[in-house]
């Protein structure tokens, strides 16, 4: 009888963990992840820190390529200004996220 009670607890625990795919739970988890990326955590595990660093690399690579393209392929100064400003903004966000990866 005790085994059935334990298996019922395990199945209920699995269902509770899988609920994060439904709308209200998904929204709560998303805000938790975004808050973790933006604010960082002093108690983050090394795996979480590596994950933040990988996400920050996306914020460095994509705007760097856009900035490189803008500086080499456009002639007008206005067509350079807006994408360059956008790239610098994304790079600043990447710096903030990367700083949170190494925060202790």
Please state the rounded mean pLDDT for residues 70-91: 84
> Are 83 and 66 within 8 A, CB to CB?
yes
């900035």: which residue's tokens?
67
How far is residue 20's CA from residue 51's CA, in Å, rounded to a whole number?
Answer: 20
Q: What is the pLDDT of residue 1?
A: 45
Asked if 87 and 25 count as a contact pair (C-beta separation under 8 A), the reply is: no
pTM, two decimal places: 0.67
pLDDT (tens digit per residue) in 10-55: 888 777 767 767 777 777 777 778 888 888 888 888 998 999 999 9
Spatial CB neighbours of 102, under 8 Å, sequence gap ≥ 6: 49, 53
Query: Out of 4-8, 47-51, 91-95, which region has the weakest mean confidence (pLDDT)?
Result: 4-8
* pLDDT > 60? residue 73: yes
């Amino acid at each position: 009888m005790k085994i059935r009670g334990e298996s019922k607890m395990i199945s209920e625990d699995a269902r509770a963990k899988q609920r994060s795919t439904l709308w209200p739970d998904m929204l709560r988890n998303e805000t938790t992840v975004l808050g973790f990326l933006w604010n960082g955590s002093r108690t983050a595990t090394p795996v979480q820190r590596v994950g933040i660093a990988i996400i920050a690399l996306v914020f460095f690579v994509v705007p760097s390529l856009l900035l490189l393209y803008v500086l080499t392929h456009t002639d007008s100064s206005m067509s350079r200004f807006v994408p360059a400003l956008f790239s610098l903004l994304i790079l600043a966000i990447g710096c903030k996220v990367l700083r949170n990866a190494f925060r202790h």
